[in-house]
């Protein structure tokens, strides 16, 4: 017998009725389960109040009721804003910025700081830029600003994004096939299908989603290929017990995008790039590429001629563009390097460093570079509702991440991470005092992290990216590459290369009390004990016995977190709130490694806000002011560094009809570093770059003269966003949006300024029956703008220009 979708549903309902009759209970209990699941699979339209937000203080609360700033992203908004990665989150919401760390968005940025990623309310493996987190498994997400509530556990300073997984369909079988082609050889396809069925006589449903992409990018030599396979199952095991489980496999292939090197204000403003490469030190002993011993201390700084690190201009260029008198002050290297080398005498006499025009697509990346990752994620929810006033939930998550990256400018990293997380939650309703809902439980989490990293050289400015080909002289051995003795080049210090085990055990509770119909409080408490062990991986080839003995460490930490929020409803559909939280933030090193108590920093948040839902629920607005203090972990110096931030945010959604809506936001933020600056790339004007480009030019300037408050650069401090959508006819619709960013500083020294920008996007779609065709475009008018980045270490040397205008066409068939 052929089981059609309609028959599947009839069989499910029949099984429900039979079970109810056998048990002597009412038929409606299991039918309600099916109806609820069927109604919820696409819950949410454009309004933040259109679905509950379960990832802050538990299930059932709306964005209006929550005493925290949250950007609620529904499936409809996922499609409207074409959200495909964490880098796209800057299109919607206040306090959200595109994360750009060497081109791979592994962690979101909220309120100018790194944030964590949760999946179904469970913390995922931390990874800074090992891979772009897959969106193939999620239906929607919540962006929660500031430290996570206590029951969720410690996260980085900015807050967290909670991924809501794709859920099976219980009403009928359904599916979709979407195919996209676009600029930069984009080819993307997603097949999504699910159906109800009977599993051992129990009502069940499954869902499968396959996503694949092959694409180049705006930036030369940078691809973006991946494959995601996701499957989920939900089963009503008994009248009071349900199971939801699923898994995703994700395979990503690309390479890093460090962007432009040799950064000057002229490069930012006009694309004027300093040309030339230093003397040729390619060595047969080092595999025909640069001699690394001449690029790291002490080789680069002792026993070399005064101009060893200076750039050399091709002879024809120098002779055509430099007057003979000035050229005579340069070092003639035509016989060995084919040109003239800059000298200090040349600049003292009024000489200038020569530039050529380049576009934003010419970046430091090498076509032989790679950044490959594989990730496996499995989750499970087992929910018991045997008591009408109590819900017991067992949650599990297992994630295994492996990455391998190599960049020929002089960087390499390999990581492996395993996370096993289990949590028991009990939600008890109707308690005293007054009307209290108490959620309490315990969690046990284990993280194994292994990282091999090599950041000893990284002479970013060595390579001339205006050249048509990449020279062997600008390819620097790194990581897995062998030295002349056959040993690898992985860093020999803990923090650079680390293998660690971390155990976290916690008890937690969250209580929501309705003291009056106009007054609610939310109290969260968490007690956690931490045990860690760290060492130098055995794979580090050049480590000495003394280095290995010094690297080993272990320890434990006991800490607590607490939060109190008060919400007042002076008028209907109006919520005024105040929240205070103090506790601990987890700051792993790259690859999720932990090797000291510095990885656990104190975190504090104060937030005041107001939310309203007006015009019969068609208008929602939220306003929040906040101040926080936290810390982030510095991999290179192996210590935590304190930060603070403050700002204000406004979000507004107006949907007067189903066919027309406006989404707007505005935010102003400022982040301060509370500790002096440590080791990092130095700012260099054009003359210094011309004289020092051959090696990594680094040092320490604890407090730059132009920035004594150490105001954090790297992301816009002020932004405004607007998006308007209109379904003009039943078949035709369109949307247009813009993001305005005020000019912002690129570096702590405040010598490099990234310009103000207004970036437009738009789309037109046509729908007829099961077919939808959408044409969309980003950066419609080709605005020159830049992707901000964390300037902690390297971004005096690097800056990334954002893509020019691009477009894509998506055809979706629903069945």
Catalogue the long-range contacts made by 802-806 (C-beta closer than 8 Å, 24 or more residues apart). Answer: 802/360, 802/759, 803/217, 803/218, 803/219, 803/360, 803/778, 803/779, 804/218, 804/360, 804/361, 804/779, 805/777, 805/778, 805/779, 805/780, 805/781, 806/182, 806/183, 806/184, 806/218, 806/777, 806/778, 806/779
Whole-angstrom Cα distance, residue 260 to residue 241?
A: 56
Q: Which tens digit of pLDDT belongs to each residue from 168-218? A: 999 999 999 999 999 999 999 999 999 999 999 999 999 999 999 999 999
Confidence of residue 34 (pLDDT cuts 50, 70, 90): low
Task: In whole angstroms, give the CA distance from residue 590 to residue 129.
Answer: 8
Structure-block tokens of residue 31: 């039918």
Cα separations (Å) of 5 from 19, 195, 237? Answer: 21, 7, 21
Nearest to 300 by CA among 480, 457, 409, 493: 457
CA distance 806 to 803: 8
Look at residue 392 and tell me whether its pLDDT is greater than 60: yes
Asked if 439 and 151 touch (Cβ cutoff 8 Å), the reply is: yes
Instruction: Report the C-alpha gap between 153 and 600 in whole angstroms.
Output: 12
Residue 42 has pLDDT above 70, yes or no: no
Q: Could you tell me which residues come within 8 angstroms of residue 672 by beta carbon, excluding any fewer than 6 positions away? A: 643, 644, 645, 709, 710, 711, 712
Residue 177 DSSP code: E
Which of 359, 430, 439, 454 minimizes the C-alpha distance to 395? Answer: 439
pLDDT band at 640; cut points 50, 70, 90: confident
Largest CA distance in the chain: 104
Closest CA to 455 of 489, 421, 432, 483: 489
Distance CA 576, CA 560 (A): 27
Predicted confidence band of residue 631 (pLDDT cuts 50, 70, 90): confident
Q: Round to whole Å and give the CA distance between 252 and 401.
A: 11
What the block records as the tokens of 799 is 């800056």
What count of other Cβ atoms lies within 10 Å of the Cβ of residue 554? 13
pLDDT at 412: 95
Using alpha carbons, select from 260, 457, 454 the residue that is nearest to residue 364.
260
> How many Å apart are CA 617 and CA 611, to the nearest integer?
12
Least confident interval from 32-41, 564-573, 806-815 = 32-41
* Structure confidence by residue, pLDDT tens digits, 69-91: 999 999 999 999 999 999 899 99
**Six token digits for residue 320:** 């055509």
Give the pLDDT of residue 5. 38
For the chain, percent of residues with pLDDT exceeding 90: 79
CA dist., res. 383 & res. 389, Å (int) = 14
Q: Which two three-digit tokens encode residue 781?
A: 């008018």
Q: Residue ranges of the alpha helices (H) in 577-710?
A: 686-692
Check whether 238 has a pLDDT greater than 80. Answer: yes
Chain position carrying tokens 């005024």: 576
Q: What is the pLDDT of residue 97?
A: 85
Confidence band, pLDDT 50/70/90 cuts, at residue 440: very high
Residues contacting residue 679 through CB under 8 Å, at least 6 positions apart:
636, 637, 698, 699, 700
**Helix extents (H) in 492-595:** 545-551
Residue found by looking up tokens 């600056």 in the block: 677
Q: Would you place residue 698 in the very low, low, confident or very high pLDDT band (cuts 50, 70, 90)?
A: confident
pLDDT over 60 at 24, yes or no: no
Residues with Cβ within 8 Å of residue 696, at least 6 apart in sequence: 295, 296, 410, 457, 458, 459, 460, 681
Q: What is the pLDDT of residue 464?
A: 98
The 8 Å CB, 24+ separation contacts for 323-331 are: 325/349, 326/350, 326/351, 331/307
- In angstroms, the CA 169 to CA 164 distance is 15
Q: Encode burial over 334-355: b for 16+ CB neighbours within 10 A, e otherwise.
A: eeebebbbbbeebbeeebebbb
Question: Which of 239, 221, 41, 55 lies closest to 139, judged by CA?
Answer: 41
* Residue ranges of domains in the chain: 41-165, 260-355+461-469+477-487+675-706
173, containing H or E segment: none
Residue 524 β-bridge partners:
510, 563
Q: How many Cα atoms are found within 13 Å in the side-chain-facing hemisphere of 439?
A: 23
CA-wise closest residue to 470 among 532, 394, 408: 408
**447 near 592, Cβ under 8 Å?**
yes
Q: What is the model's pLDDT at position 31? A: 60
Q: How far apart are CA 304 and CA 298, in angstroms?
A: 10
Nearest to 654 by CA among 698, 694, 622, 699: 622
State mean pLDDT over 660-666.
Answer: 98
Helix (H) or strand (E) holding 32, with range, is helix 28-40
Structure tokens at 642: 């304190």
Mean pLDDT along residues 589-612: 91
Radius of gyration (C-alpha) of the chain in whole angstroms: 28
Other CB atoms within 10 Å distance of the CB of residue 402? 17
- Give 728's contacts (C-beta < 8 A, 6+ positions apart): 659, 734
Angle at 748 (CA atoms; ends 747, 754), nearest 5 degrees: 30
723 contacts: CB under 8 Å, gap ≥ 6:
80, 81, 91, 92, 662, 663, 664, 735, 736, 737, 738
Distance between CA 332 and CA 337 in Å, rounded? 9
Q: Tens digit of pLDDT for each residue in 304-321?
A: 888 999 999 999 999 999
Q: What is the pLDDT of residue 17?
A: 37
Q: What does the pLDDT look like over 456-482, one tens digit per residue? A: 889 999 999 999 999 999 999 999 999
Pairing outcome for strands 553-568 and 519-535: antiparallel
Fold held by 41-165: Ferric Hydroxamate Uptake Protein; Chain A, domain 1 (2.170.130)
Mean pLDDT of 610-631: 95
Q: How confident is the model at residue 37 (pLDDT cuts 50, 70, 90)?
A: low
Provide the CB-side half-sphere exposure for 661 (13 A, CA): 18
Long-range contact set of residues 471-475: C-beta below 8 Å, sequence gap at least 24: 471/277, 471/280, 472/282, 472/288, 472/289, 472/290, 473/277, 473/278, 473/279, 473/280, 473/281, 473/282, 473/289, 473/290, 474/277, 474/290, 474/408, 474/409, 475/289, 475/290, 475/366, 475/408, 475/409
At 495, give phi and psi (nearest 5°). Answer: 100, -40
- H or E stretch covering 110: strand 109-110
Q: Which residues contact 94 (CB under 8 A, 6 or more apart)?
A: 69, 71, 649, 650, 651, 665, 666, 667, 719, 721
User: Residue written as tokens 């040092």?
Assistant: 699
Residue 18's pLDDT is: 39
């Amino acid at each position: 017998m052929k089981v059609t979708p309609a028959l599947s549903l009839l069989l499910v309902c029949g099984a429900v009725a039979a079970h109810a009759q056998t048990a002597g209970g009412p038929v409606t209990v299991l039918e309600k389960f099916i109806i609820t699941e069927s109604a919820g699979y696409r819950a949410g339209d454009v309004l933040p109040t259109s679905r509950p937000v379960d990832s802050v203080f538990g299930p059932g609360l709306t964005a209006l009721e929550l005493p925290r700033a949250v950007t609620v992203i529904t499936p409809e908004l996922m499609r409207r804003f074409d959200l495909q990665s964490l880098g796209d989150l800057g299109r919607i919401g206040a306090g959200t910025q595109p994360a750009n760390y060497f081109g791979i968005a592994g962690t979101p940025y909220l309120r100018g700081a790194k944030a964590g990623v949760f999946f179904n309310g469970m913390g995922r493996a931390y990874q800074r830029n090992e891979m772009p987190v897959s969106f193939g498994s999620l239906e929607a997400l919540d962006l929660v600003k500031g430290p996570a509530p206590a029951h969720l556990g410690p996260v980085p300073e900015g807050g967290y994004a909670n991924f809501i997984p794709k859920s099976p369909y219980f009403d009928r079988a359904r599916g979709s096939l979407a195919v996209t082609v676009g600029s930069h050889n984009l080819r993307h396809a997603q097949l999504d299908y699910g159906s109800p069925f009977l599993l051992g006589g129990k009502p069940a449903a499954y869902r499968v989603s396959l996503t694949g992409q092959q694409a180049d990018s705006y930036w030369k030599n940078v691809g973006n290929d991946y494959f995601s396979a996701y499957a989920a199952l939900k089963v009503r095991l008994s009248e009071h017990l349900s199971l939801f489980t699923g898994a995703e496999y994700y395979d990503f292939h690309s390479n890093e995008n460090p962007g432009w090197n040799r950064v000057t204000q002229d490069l930012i403003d006009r694309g004027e790039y300093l040309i030339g490469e230093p003397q040729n030190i390619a060595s047969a002993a080092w595999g025909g590429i640069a001699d690394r011993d001449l690029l790291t201390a002490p080789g680069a700084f002792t026993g070399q001629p005064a101009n060893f690190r200076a750039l050399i201009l091709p002879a024809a260029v120098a002779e055509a563009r430099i007057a003979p008198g000035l050229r005579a002050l340069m070092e003639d290297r035509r016989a060995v390097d084919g040109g003239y080398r800059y000298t200090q005498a040349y600049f003292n006499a009024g000489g200038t460093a020569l530039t050529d025009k380049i576009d934003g697509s010419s970046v430091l990346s090498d076509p032989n570079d790679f950044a490959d990752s594989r990730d496996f994620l499995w989750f499970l929810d087992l929910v018991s509702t045997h008591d009408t006033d109590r819900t017991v939930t067992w949650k599990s998550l297992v994630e295994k991440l492996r990455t391998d990256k190599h960049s020929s400018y002089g960087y390499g990293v390999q990581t492996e991470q395993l996370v096993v997380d289990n949590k028991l939650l009990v939600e008890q309703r109707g308690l005293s005092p007054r009307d209290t809902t108490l959620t309490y439980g315990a969690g046990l989490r284990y993280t194994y992290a292994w990282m091999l990293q090599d950041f000893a050289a990284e002479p970013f400015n060595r390579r001339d990216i205006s050249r048509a080909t990449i020279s062997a002289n600008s390819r620097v051995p790194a990581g897995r590459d062998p030295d002349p003795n056959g040993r690898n080049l992985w860093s020999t210090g803990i923090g650079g290369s680390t293998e660690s085990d971390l155990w976290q055990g916690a008890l937690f509770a969250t209580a929501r009390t309705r003291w009056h119909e106009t007054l609610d409080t939310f109290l969260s408490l968490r007690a956690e004990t931490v045990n860690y062990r760290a060492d130098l991986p055995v794979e580090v080839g050049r480590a000495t016995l003394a280095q290995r003995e010094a690297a080993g460490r272990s320890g434990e930490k006991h800490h607590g977190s607490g939060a109190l929020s008060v919400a007042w409803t002076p008028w209907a559909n109006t919520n005024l709130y105040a929240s205070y939280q103090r506790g601990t933030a987890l700051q792993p090193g790259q690859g999720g490694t932990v090797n000291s108590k510095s990885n656990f920093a104190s975190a504090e948040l104060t937030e005041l806000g107001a939310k309203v839902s007006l015009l019969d629920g068609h208008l929602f607005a939220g306003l929040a002011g906040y101040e926080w203090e936290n810390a982030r972990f510095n991999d290179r110096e192996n210590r935590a560094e304190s930060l603070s931030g403050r700002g204000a945010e406004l979000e507004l959604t107006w949907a007067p009809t189903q066919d027309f809506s406006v989404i707007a936001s505005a935010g102003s933020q400022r982040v301060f570093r509370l500790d002096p600056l440590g080791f990092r790339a130095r700012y260099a004007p054009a003359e210094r770059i011309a004289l020092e480009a051959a090696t990594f030019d680094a040092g320490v300037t604890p407090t730059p003269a132009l920035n004594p408050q150490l105001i954090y650069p790297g992301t816009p401090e002020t932004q405004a966003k607007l998006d308007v959508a209109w379904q003009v006819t039943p078949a035709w619709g369109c949307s247009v949006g813009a993001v305005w960013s005020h000019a912002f500083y690129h570096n702590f020294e405040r010598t490099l300024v990234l310009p103000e920008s207004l970036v437009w996007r738009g789309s037109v779609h046509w729908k007829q029956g099961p077919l939808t065709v959408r044409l969309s475009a980003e950066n419609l008018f080709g605005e020159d703008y830049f992707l901000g980045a964390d300037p902690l270490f390297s971004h005096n040397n690097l800056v990334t220009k954002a893509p020019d205008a691009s477009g894509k066409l998506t055809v979706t068939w629903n069945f």
